[in-house]
Amino acid sequence: MKESKSKNITKFSSDKLIESIFQGVDFQQFLTIQIPSKLIRALFALAAFRKSKKNIIVVSQNYFEQQDWVDNLSFFDSKLKILGFAESLKSKRNFDSFESLGFLIQNLEDFKKNESIAICTPEEFKIELPQTNEISKNLITLNVKDEVNFQHFTQELILNGYSKNDYVAFEGDIAIRGGIVDIYPIGHENPLRIEFWGDEIDSIREFDPLSQRSVQEHQEISFLKSIFHSSQVEDSVNIFEYLPQETIFILDSPENLDLDNDILEKIKNYDVFFLNPLKKHDFSIKVRTQPEFNGSLNELTKFLKLISEYNTNLTITSDNPTYTKRIQSLLEKYIEETDFAEDDSFKDYVHKINWHHSPVSEGFITNDFKYAVLTEHQIFERKKKVTEKHKTSKTSITLKELNTLQIGDFIVHEDKGVGIFDGLQTMTIGGTLQDCIRIKFQDDDLVYLNLNYINKIDRYNSTDGEPPKLSKLGSVEWERRKTRLKKKLKDISRELIQLYAKRKFSEGFSFAEDTVWQKEFEASFMYEDTQDQATASDDVKQDMCNTFPMDRLVCGDVGFGKTEVAIRAAFKAATSGKQVAVLVPTTILAQQHYMSFRDRFNRYPINVTLLSRFRSKKEINESLDQIKSGKIDVIVGTHRLLSKDVEFKDLGLLIIDEEHRFGVEAKEKLRQLKENIDTLTMTATPIPRTLNFSLLGVRDISIIETPPPNRLPVYTEVLKWDSSQFREAVLMELSRKGQIFFVTDKVYDIDEITAGLKSIVPEATFGIAHGQMKSSELENTMVQFIEKKFDVLVTTKIIESGLDIPNANTIFINRAQNFGLAELYQLRGRVGRSNIQAQCYLLVPENVKLPEKSIRRLQALEEFTDLGSGIKLAMRDMEIRGTGNLLGADQSGFIDDIGFELYSKILDEAVAELKDEEFADIFKSNEEIRRNILRNPDLEIDYDKSSFFTDSFVPSDTERYLLYKRLYALDKIEDVKDFENELIDRFGKLPEEVENLLFVIRIRVLGINTGFRKIQIRGNKVIIEFPTENQDYYLKVFPYIMDYIGTYENASFKQIKSKLILTNTFENREEILEYIWKMKKVIDLSIEE
């Protein structure tokens, strides 16, 4: 079948289709028109725009309707300029923020200047805007080659409200570095980088605030030089003052629009179309919405057969190319395997389908069957991809700032212990200037760390966040701690490797490859798979096809899609005639999993049952008989599943959720049950990817760390406590039949708080849950909440993880300043689990001054609403917890002793040593193990020229440290060039010291994993020091090096004590780099052969 054909899609944006559908519509008479299809409403707006030659404003019900309009218009004309006036999901009380106000003003200015269609919501009509002459006075236009007084320009922006920072992160920020000005103008999607040569503008570039890299050149740019706040606007006007009189309004479903009468009257002063009114209409467009196929390829194929008789011009559109390919493949295979395979004319019609990838809200078919558009997401009953534009910059930079080492922060030095980061210091070393990292230890002792060893230090992270005790220089205690830990980790890892090896040599059931049924089932998943989720699912199914039993851990936060991975595995097993046991630690989770599995399998002959204390004895006995006879395919249950009276007919797959929460007795029964059965374990407690790499070949792990792209971002706001706002938010949630969490930080006053909340919203019903309740009482309360027996759950942070309550879409977090960032992140993750917009309110006391760090933490959470963006930082303490769970022992004491980063490094070393020594026979074919003889993380580069970031080039200590950390982590030569381009882009022409530094890094990148101890460069002379006491290196690698060196006349070896040193002389830097690059190639070859 064919890929997307743009020439066929162009037909849809041509006048031919418009004439076909809108015959008889007079676009000069402004009518009320009935159009059932959202996609055809967009086509109508496009037709009106083209025929009238006027700008159009579509008024839609809310922000999500606006996004549908944008997507639908783009489907018909991808080059059309479409403006969305509603910036994001902000509530109306946030419109006095200068970002939202600036965004609207900028869009209104664009609307006046360009032929375009704008989409807005009723909220924009209520915003108080500055007079248009105020905007004209504050609008600045810059051109390349303009003469602009640099000093006056930057000072004016700062005086007019722009905030000076080290780098640009938010709208309203400005950063000045030499002759470069970075500015984030209000209302612009991206910030600007203006480079001056004296007082002349040399270039204007738009840049990505996440990467800080330029993305587009501009010859001219306009922006507001002042920052406006609604609350400060005098003699305000509304949106109508900004609109040209030659504007056409289209009101979409007018009865649903929250427009005041006076606004409606003003709209009527313009030309207006009313689309899809509930009452009478002047004209009706004869189209049908897309029929329902219930995810069935059979139903879809029958429909295609029907419209093929009319030779309907059909387009099938998907959210992305992957889904396009998938439905093409599924349809093709289905037709080949059914009676339709003999119908050549039908197959020819299917071959002519236009395939397209563009998210649209819904499909349609014209009544005369001339044209049809079907959406892949409706065919498989999935939700359409949300295409909101997120400003990830706010998230990323805020998080980068939070995660950057600040002076005074605790750090861990691998060899010296726990110290305090005391900044950078430029020092003279061997006659050249170099930056060093200053670290303070116990008794104010200082160490100046050469940048060669920057990877030996990391921020200190522990399980409890308590400040650690500083280490004493010269003490042997630090080495003792590391030795004790390595021994412990070796013991744990040894047991894991033995289990892993035993399983690999056992015999299990080998499942067949995916069937068409399996693919159809997976395509009906209502959300778009993330890459992590798709990879995890493929890993699991591949394991199931192996001849030895699977034992895989899938790790991912609640809602990130690991349950769907398990469901797909269960489907594979059940459709292969095997039974599936799903074991969970609590009754609540059992109920939730039972409902999830049952609902996903409801169109297939797969029987699901539940074994838990909420089932009656009679129901359980019936289920036990059916399990024994094989009538039940999937059994979900608590530890009740492990009882002796549960007899499976043919168990093929065991799925375990949160194994670490089971007791010792249950774990022992599990160990016996798992021996020859495919086992899939799930956990919501994340583990870091670094740990996954450490345990490669020890435990099969799949990590899902990105949330579903269709999950709507949780609207997050920091608020001072206001009872009227609380009442308003609760009533709003109740009006959409939803539920509310109210989380507080203490148990002692939870009853008093609940009584106070009841008095504010007497219409709502309340329940209480906290960790001091009996487990059965707590469980009953939670089940009642899931079953919607009450509206508001007042609780402590015990709801932090594990719960999935899609109906709860509002959460209040009381005294939010007392929670850690990871806790806040986890708590917020309890809402926003469905396609309904969720709200998270971070409540802070009214008259308490919060520390700066608390404010920044809350701001960070308020900004990074798209969950995946903050996961690395916010979930660090959860990763620490997950590490302990995975390794089957309480690791928190060790982690508190030495910090999480060093703990991970020692685990890596311990596993590598076991693979290389005790288990060498199992891993001898592993190239990574063979490469261990080349590892040289402490490689030292000694250059006789000053090589560092000068203060004048990068003024900020924090930014310099961040750049050094990134630079010394590079491991590909092409990445150094990329980094160089970034430096030039962000900071301007490179000083000699920075060019020298980049040369040092290139040498370092080439020298890593060669076994070299040290590379010295003295003028044109290169001195390489080889490893000592590494017999394998000299046996396997050194002969290749000798052959290579034999091609150089000037090369010479020298033995100085135990050191073997190679010296060679060259003309220039390029020759030096080529010399080391070729030697690295030779060394790699020695390992491969």
- pLDDT tens sequence across 41-66: 999 999 888 888 888 999 998 877 88
Mark which of 363, 379, 395 sits at the end of a domain. 379
* Paired tokens of 682: 């799930």
Residue 798 lies in a domain: yes
**List of long-range contacts for 418-421, beta carbons under 8 Å, 24+ apart:** 418/460, 418/468, 418/469, 418/470, 418/471, 418/898, 418/899, 419/447, 419/470, 419/471, 420/470, 421/457
Asked if residue 80 and residue 169 are part of one domain, the reply reads no
Mean pLDDT of 817-844: 79
**pTM confidence score:** 0.68
* Paired tokens of 195: 């480079």
Q: Which of 264-278, 396-410, 731-745, 784-798 has the lowest mean pLDDT?
A: 396-410
Q: Is 387 helix (H, G, I), strand (E, B) or coil?
A: coil
d(CA 213, CA 984): 10
Cβ-Cβ contacts under 8 Å for 82 (sequence gap 6 or more): 69, 70, 73, 74, 116, 117, 118, 119
Mean pLDDT of 730-740: 89
Mean pLDDT of 400-410: 65
Question: Contact at 8 Å (CB) between 883 and 691?
Answer: yes
Mean pLDDT of 532-556: 91
H helical segments located in 740-834: 750-760, 775-786, 821-828
Q: What is the DSSP letter of 1035?
A: I
Split at pLDDT 50, 70, 90, the class of 465 is low
> Can you tell me which residue has the tokens 């990838």?
357
Side chain identity at residue 599, one-letter code: D
* Paired tokens of 166: 């080290």
Residue 1075 lies in a domain: yes
Mean pLDDT of all residues belonging to the chain: 83
Asked if residue 643 and residue 522 are part of one domain, the reply reads yes
Percent of the chain with pLDDT over 70: 86
DSSP string, 966-1008: HHTT---HHHHHHHHHHHHHHH-SPPHHHHHHHHHHHHHHHHT
* Paired tokens of 24: 């008889």
963-1006 pLDDT, tens per residue?
A: 998 899 898 999 999 999 999 999 999 999 999 999 999 999 99
Q: Which of 973, 980, 928, 920 is nearest to 953 (CA)?
A: 980
* Paired tokens of 332: 């093709």
Question: Contact at 8 Å (CB) between 671 and 659?
Answer: no
Residue 205 lies in a domain: yes
CATH number at residue 845: 3.40.50.300
CATH number at residue 346: 3.40.50
pLDDT at residue number 944: 92
Asked if residue 878 and residue 854 are part of one domain, the reply reads no
Mean pLDDT of 353-358: 88
d(CA 186, CA 204): 17
Asked if residue 736 and residue 696 are part of one domain, the reply reads no
Mark which of 209, 225, 241 sits at the end of a domain. 225
Residue 1082 lies in a domain: yes
Asked if residue 937 and residue 1020 are part of one domain, the reply reads yes
Strand 371-375 to strand 364-366: parallel, antiparallel, or no bridges (unpaired)? antiparallel
Residue 454 lies in a domain: no
Split at pLDDT 50, 70, 90, the class of 9 is very low
Residue 159 lies in a domain: yes
Beta bridge partner(s), residue 164: 174
Distance spanning both ends of the chain, measured CA to CA? 44
CATH number at residue 1033: 3.90.1150.50
Mean pLDDT of 377-397: 57
Q: Which of 242, 272, 276 is nearest to 125 (CA)?
A: 242
In total, how many domains does the chain have? 6
Split at pLDDT 50, 70, 90, the class of 676 is confident
1024-1051 pLDDT, tens per residue?
A: 999 887 888 888 899 999 999 988 988 8
Asked if residue 122 and residue 35 are part of one domain, the reply reads yes
Q: Which of 1035, 1009, 1014, 1036 is nearest to 1025 (CA)?
A: 1014
> Can you tell me which residue has the tokens 């899809």?
276
Residue 460 lies in a domain: no
Residue 775 lies in a domain: yes
Q: Which of 315-324, 497-506, 579-588, 995-1004 has the lowest mean pLDDT?
A: 497-506
Split at pLDDT 50, 70, 90, the class of 1056 is confident
Asked if residue 173 and residue 110 are part of one domain, the reply reads no
Asked if residue 958 and residue 857 are part of one domain, the reply reads no
Split at pLDDT 50, 70, 90, the class of 336 is confident
pLDDT at residue number 803: 66
Question: Contact at 8 Å (CB) between 485 and 518?
Answer: no
Split at pLDDT 50, 70, 90, the class of 408 is confident
Sheet of 313-318: strand order equals 287-289, 364-366, 371-375, 313-318, 354-357
CA distances from 567 to 558, 561, 587, 606, 615 (A): 15, 10, 19, 12, 22
Split at pLDDT 50, 70, 90, the class of 143 is very high
Q: At 1037, phi and psi to the nearest 5?
A: -100, -40
pLDDT at residue number 342: 86
Asked if residue 249 and residue 353 are part of one domain, the reply reads no
Asked if residue 688 and residue 805 are part of one domain, the reply reads no
Mean pLDDT of 186-193: 88
Asked if residue 943 and residue 897 are part of one domain, the reply reads no
Split at pLDDT 50, 70, 90, the class of 959 is confident
Asked if residue 671 and residue 697 are part of one domain, the reply reads yes
Cβ-Cβ contacts under 8 Å for 68 (sequence gap 6 or more): 38, 60, 361, 384
Range of the domain at 174: 139-225
Beta bridge partner(s), residue 224: 139
Side chain identity at residue 617, one-letter code: K
CA distances from 606 to 304, 571, 840 (A): 29, 8, 38
Split at pLDDT 50, 70, 90, the class of 1077 is very high
CA distances from 25 to 20, 31, 262, 284, 595 (A): 11, 9, 29, 9, 50
Mark which of 864, 884, 900 sits at the end of a domain. 864
